[in-house]
């Protein structure tokens, strides 16, 4: 569908869902499940690419634009860094003003790609750049933006990141202890999530709940209600793909290397998610 000028029309009444979570938080699993429930991702889903900076179920357009913005800020394009470096990004993102040509470029991509009622994207760096995306989507006429937040225990995120050679290389160049650097990253990302939750009262889920068959079904049903989606037969398809028994388990006990501030933040987010799930 196009306007008389030939420019694709934006479906600005669509429900837009940014899936927000720290690296290795489980946001990829959530994104694919939402896709199976009917949320358009804008491109054919790709399998994981080992050793690639392109992550699982990520939209190339959003991923590339986030990289450009982070590089313009003189920040690591993967969203890695110490607490101070990363904590400045959301505030900087608020002040980003695209010129009319760039705004039209983003608008045209969205119009051509998402002629649908529900669409979204996932990229961990969108957590840090969420103020930018909220501003530009609003400027483009979108009013129904419903973030979905995914939180994972800091110990599990740290253990996963410590297996990444590029992260270890960065920590070495920064002369930082890799575990400490991971925890600083985790705190920044999840402090942003808490701010988004406070400001929007959006959906929040905990990674370990996807590893339980009953909890995972309930979480997907809760997400479908949040997004005003009809489950139909898609719920079972999403659960079959997810295979809760195969989801990496997170232990409830707090690892000794995790600092008190990170643990307090994690359990605050868990409490908020539990309140949502209980309907309180």
pTM tops 0.75, yes or no? yes
C-alpha pair distances (Å), 25 with each of 1, 160, 165, 228, 250: 37, 9, 18, 24, 11
For domain 15-278, the CATH architecture is: 3-Layer(aba) Sandwich (3.40)
Q: In whole angstroms, what is the distance from residue 154 CA to residue 35 CA? A: 26
SS3 85: helix
Q: Give the pLDDT of residue 52.
A: 37
**Average per-residue pLDDT in the chain?**
90
- In this prediction, residue 251 has a pLDDT band, given cuts at 50, 70 and 90, of low
Q: Give the pLDDT of residue 256.
A: 86
**Based on the number of CB atoms within 10 Å of its own CB, is 162 exposed (0-12), middle (13-18) or buried (19 or more)?**
middle
Sign of dihedral through CA atoms 60, 30, 272, 221? Answer: positive
Q: Give the pLDDT of residue 1.
A: 30
Q: Identify which has the larger pLDDT, 224 or 9.
A: 224
Q: In whole angstroms, what is the distance from residue 234 CA to residue 255 CA? A: 37
**Residue range 189-201: average pLDDT?**
97
| Six-digit token string for 66 | 């986030």
Torsion, CA 25, CA 26, CA 30, CA 33, rounded to 10 = 170
Q: Give the pLDDT of residue 245.
A: 86
Over residues 18-77, the pLDDT tens digits come to: 999 999 999 999 999 999 999 999 975 555 554 433 347 889 999 999 999 999 999 999
Highest average pLDDT, of 5-14, 19-28, 238-247, comes from 19-28
2 pLDDT higher than 50: no
153, 209 Cβ separation under 8 angstroms: no
Q: In whole angstroms, what is the distance from residue 218 CA to residue 213 CA? A: 9
Q: Identify which has the larger pLDDT, 1 or 64.
A: 64
User: Which residues have CB under 8 Å from 122's CB, separation 6+?
Assistant: 18, 19, 20, 21, 27, 28, 30, 31, 41, 55, 57, 58, 59
Interhelix angle 27-37/213-226, nearest 10 degrees: 60
- In this prediction, residue 243 has a pLDDT band, given cuts at 50, 70 and 90, of very high
Q: Give the pLDDT of residue 10.
A: 60
Q: Give the pLDDT of residue 231.
A: 78
Q: In whole angstroms, what is the distance from residue 27 CA to residue 99 CA? A: 31
Stretch among 72-76, 104-108, 188-192, 246-250 having the lowest mean pLDDT: 246-250
Q: Give the pLDDT of residue 253.
A: 61
Q: Give the pLDDT of residue 230.
A: 87
Q: Identify which has the larger pLDDT, 108 or 213.
A: 108
Q: Give the pLDDT of residue 216.
A: 95
> Backbone phi, then psi, for 122, in 5-degree steps?
-140, 135
261 pLDDT higher than 70: yes
278 pLDDT higher than 90: yes
**Based on the number of CB atoms within 10 Å of its own CB, is 118 exposed (0-12), middle (13-18) or buried (19 or more)?**
buried
């Amino acid at each position: 569908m196009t306007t008389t000028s030939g420019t694709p029309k934006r479906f600005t009444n669509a429900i837009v869902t940014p899936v927000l979570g720290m690296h290795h938080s489980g946001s990829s699993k959530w994104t694919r499940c939402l896709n199976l429930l009917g949320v358009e991702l804008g491109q054919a889903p790709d399998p994981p690419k080992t050793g690639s900076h392109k992550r699982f179920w990520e939209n190339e357009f959003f991923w590339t634009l986030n990289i450009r913005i982070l590089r313009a800020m003189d920040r690591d394009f993967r969203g890695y860094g110490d607490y101070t470096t990363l904590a400045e990004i959301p505030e900087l993102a608020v002040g980003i003003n695209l010129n009319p040509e760039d705004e039209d470029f983003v608008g045209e991509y969205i119009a051509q790609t998402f002629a649908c009622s529900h669409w979204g994207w996932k990229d961990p760096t969108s957590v840090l750049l969420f103020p930018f995306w909220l501003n530009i989507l609003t400027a483009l006429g979108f009013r129904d933006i419903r973030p979905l937040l995914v939180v994972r225990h800091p110990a599990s995120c740290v253990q996963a990141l410590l297996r990444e050679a590029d992260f270890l290389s960065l920590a070495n160049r920064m002369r930082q202890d890799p575990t400490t650097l991971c925890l600083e990253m985790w705190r920044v990302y999840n402090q942003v999530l808490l701010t988004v939750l406070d400001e929007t009262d959006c959906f929040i889920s905990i990674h370990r709940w996807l590893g339980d068959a009953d909890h995972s079904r309930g979480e997907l049903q809760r997400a479908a209600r949040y997004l005003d989606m009809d489950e139909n037969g898609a719920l079972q398809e999403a659960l079959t793909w997810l295979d809760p028994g195969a989801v990496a388990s997170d232990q409830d006990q707090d690892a000794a290397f995790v600092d008190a501030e990170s643990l307090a933040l994690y359990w605050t987010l868990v409490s908020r998610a539990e309140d949502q799930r209980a309907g309180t």
